Amino acid sequence: MTHRFPVRVYYEDTDLAGIVYYANYLKFIERARSEWVRGLGVDQVRLKADHGIVFAVRRVEADYLTPARFDDLLTVETALADLTPARLILDQAVLRGESVLFTARVTLVALAASGRPTRLPAEFRQSLARG
């Protein structure tokens, strides 16, 4: 199932040429991932408090295809590509209408309070399965 999250490009998101600064795409997809998790019914604050687990980005593979510009209305799509006991891989895309502007494959790992990888809680995996 694909999650969709709208993003408006503000002046602060652009560079001197009036196009979205490359690092801001990472901010857009981060917001979309947070909303995707929230949409699954997972409270990340509670996950940390109850289980001591947080998510960290392990890897990002990104392709910048076409620039977004000031005042564009974009959509960030997020879909689960793979799941292991301690890791999830997401495919994300930023679109303007039907045009794909940016794609990324993001690998997230679950970390314990010690900073070491840990298994995803069963309830989180169940949320993904219902997803």
User: Helices 44-51 and 22-39 meet at what angle, rounded to 10?
Assistant: 70
Please, what are the domains in the chain? Answer: 3-130 (3.10.129.10)
First to last CA, the chain: 6
> Whose CA is closest to 7, among 60, 73, 70?
73
The set of catalytic residues is 15
Kindly report the pTM of this predicted structure: 0.92
**Residue 122: pLDDT over 90:** no
pLDDT tens column, 15-73: 999 999 999 999 999 999 999 999 988 888 988 888 889 999 999 999 999 999 999 99
Tokens of 94: 């930023």
**Residue ranges of E strands in the chain:** 3-8, 54-64, 73-83, 87-96, 99-111
pLDDT tens column, 34-50: 999 999 888 889 888 88
